[in-house]
């Protein structure tokens, strides 16, 4: 059996990010960079993943949890030194090890698998993932001999004029024979300006030993992008957003303007759903089939049923059923659950409330901490008065009730099944089923009084 291992380099602080957040934890399309890398490696079915942690070690561990094992690089002394920290976990094991940087969130599982396959096919002790860069400035160049074999890697500062013209670059992702890797690491020197131990030196050591060193070129330079500052972070976000949008479109989702669709990597969207411009879909949101999500909508970690329309509204940590309409300009706050065929109209706020099938809150209302049954109609300007200054209280509105406009329901209170609340009422006591509740001052008409006022 051929064993495969993975080492993820995630110990750097990332000073160029100028941030309190450790570099590999910066999100790209809603997910930390290192989690993108780890998740893609998991798709390869490797036997063991070792993440090298340093700065922010505990936060990285908390983020990845049991997705990986961990090795601590207490002092950052270079990439070869970082890989060496994995020795207690994988040294001496026969097999193949892929080494990936934790700040390369765009690298695909398919590319890593192709690198591993090429490595095994060539019988190499080391294989470098390379790419063609239109502007290779700053990257190590791949220098090949007359037979197209890899001769050496030349860093930018050491490259001759001819070598600087080479556009094939070292991406920083490698595949090694595991035993050869750890043997070579023992011979890496820190005799350089930075006084660090560099992983590319392993390539040179293996070549001097007469071992085969191969290269596999990806056809997509952008997926090898390493994120070292906010500019590169923005570039990675742009590239990944486009990739995510294309995946959804190929699966049957219509995205009118992919350039303005912000869809998280975890989101799932059903076929024949239409996403209008300037829509943000975050977290592990699930949207069903045949939905319409109009412009200026934000949906966060929520589940939306089939044939539902969300119009210029915000939805957070909630569940919305089938054939439901929300908005425009509605706010669905966390822990809300809207059933099927529900209508939430313009300027309605729903918070920690459940609404049953066919219920409607069409205009300018606040429904918070409430259980609303099926077939309920809640008129314009209705407020569930849920807060007494210290605690929140529950309002219950049972099936088929009718709440007139401009009503205040002072919780805790229950509106019984099939009952009516007259417009303008302030309800502070339970209303029995099939009752009409009126709680407002009696109207008094003073005839001719308007003329008297006008004479003053």
pLDDT value of residue 73:
97
Domain assignments of the chain as residue spans, ordered by start: 4-224, 252-437
CA–CA gap between residue 302 and residue 137 (Å, rounded): 43
Determine if residue 238 is labeled as part of a ligand binding site.
no
From 99-108, 187-196, 288-297, 365-374, the region with the lowest mean pLDDT: 187-196
* Active-site residue (options: 42, 55, 363, 393): 363
Q: Quick check: 431 pLDDT over 60?
A: yes
pLDDT value of residue 320:
99
Going by pLDDT thresholds of 50, 70 and 90, the confidence category of residue 151 is confident
pLDDT value of residue 2:
78
Q: Average the pLDDT over 397-421 and give the result.
A: 98
Determine if residue 139 is labeled as part of a ligand binding site.
no
How many residues would you count in the chain? 456
Going by pLDDT thresholds of 50, 70 and 90, the confidence category of residue 1 is low
Determine if residue 103 is labeled as part of a ligand binding site.
yes
CA–CA gap between residue 105 and residue 237 (Å, rounded): 9
- For the domain covering 4-224, report its CATH number: 3.90.550.10
Extended beta strands in 347-407, E state: 349-355, 360-363, 366-372, 377-378, 383-385, 395-397, 402-403
Question: 445: Cβ–Cβ under 8 A, 6 or more apart, which residues?
Answer: none
Determine if residue 11 is labeled as part of a ligand binding site.
yes
DSSP state of 140: P
Q: Which CATH class, in words, describes the domain spanning 252-437? A: mainly beta
Q: Quick check: 456 pLDDT over 70?
A: no
Q: Average the pLDDT over 144-155 and give the result.
A: 84
Residue the block writes with tokens 């699966």: 251
Q: Determine the 3-state secondary structure of 197 from DSSP.
A: coil
pTM of the model: 0.91
CA–CA gap between residue 59 and residue 19 (Å, rounded): 15
Q: Average the pLDDT over 250-279 and give the result.
A: 98
Residue 79 CA: distances (Å) to CA of 11, 56, 327, 405: 9, 17, 52, 67
Q: What confidence tens digit (pLDDT) does each residue in 164-221 have? A: 999 999 999 999 999 999 999 999 999 887 889 999 999 999 999 999 999 999 999 9
DSSP string computed for 241-286: HHHHHHHHHHTT-EES-GGGEEE-TT-EE-TT-EE-SSEEEETT-E
Determine if residue 298 is labeled as part of a ligand binding site.
no
The yes-or-no answer on residue 393 being catalytic is no
């Amino acid at each position: 059996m051929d064993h495969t291992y993975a080492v993820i380099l995630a110990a750097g602080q990332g000073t160029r990010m100028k941030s309190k957040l450790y570099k590999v934890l910066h999100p790209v399309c809603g997910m930390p960079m290192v989690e993108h890398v780890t998740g893609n490696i998991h798709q390869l079915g490797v036997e063991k993943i070792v993440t090298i942690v340093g700065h922010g070690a505990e936060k990285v561990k908390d983020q990845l949890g049991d997705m990986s094992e961990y090795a601590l690089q207490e002092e950052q002394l270079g990439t070869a030194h970082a890989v060496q920290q994995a020795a207690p976990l994988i040294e001496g094991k026969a097999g193949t090890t892929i080494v990936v940087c934790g700040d390369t969130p765009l690298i695909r599982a398919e590319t890593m698998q192709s690198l591993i396959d090429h490595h095994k096919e060539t019988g190499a002790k080391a294989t470098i993932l390379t790419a063609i860069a239109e502007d290779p400035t700053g990257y190590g160049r791949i220098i090949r001999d007359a037979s197209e074999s890899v001769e050496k890697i030349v860093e930018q500062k050491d490259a001759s004029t001819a070598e600087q013209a080479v556009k094939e670059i070292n991406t920083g992702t490698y595949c090694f024979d595991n035993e050869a890797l750890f043997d070579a690491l023992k011979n890496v020197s820190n005799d350089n300006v930075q006084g660090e131990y560099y992983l590319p030196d392993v390539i040179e050591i293996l070549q001097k030993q007469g071992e085969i060193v191969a290269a596999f070129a990806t056809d997509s330079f952008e997926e090898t992008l390493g994120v070292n500052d906010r500019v590169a972070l923005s570039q990675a976000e742009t590239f990944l957003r486009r990739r995510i949008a294309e995946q959804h479109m190929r699966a049957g989702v219509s995205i009118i303007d992919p350039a303005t669709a912000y869809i998280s990597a975890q989101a799932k969207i059903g076929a024949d759903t239409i996403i209008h411009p300037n829509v943000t879909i975050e977290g592990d949101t699930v949207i069903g089939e045949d939905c319409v999500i109009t412009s200026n909508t934000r949906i966060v970690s929520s589940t939306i049923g089939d044939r539902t329309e969300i119009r210029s509204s915000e939805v957070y940590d909630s569940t919305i059923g089938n054939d439901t309409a929300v908005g425009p300009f509605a706010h669905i706050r966390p822990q809300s659950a809207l059933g099927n065929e529900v209508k939430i109209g313009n300027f309605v706020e729903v918070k920690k409330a459940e609404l049953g099938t066919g219920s409607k809150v069409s205009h300018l209302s606040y429904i918070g901490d409430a259980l609303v049954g099926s077939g309920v109609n809640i008129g314009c300007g209705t407020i569930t008065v849920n807060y007494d200054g210290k605690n929140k209280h529950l309002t219950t509105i049972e099936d088929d009730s009718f709440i007139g406009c401009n009503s205040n329901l002072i919780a805790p209170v229950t509106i019984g099944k099939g009952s009516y609340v007259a417009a303008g009422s302030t309800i502070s006591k339970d209303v029995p089923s099939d009752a009409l509740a009126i709680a407002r001052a009696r109207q008094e008409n003073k005839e001719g009084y308007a003329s008297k006022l006008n004479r003053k």
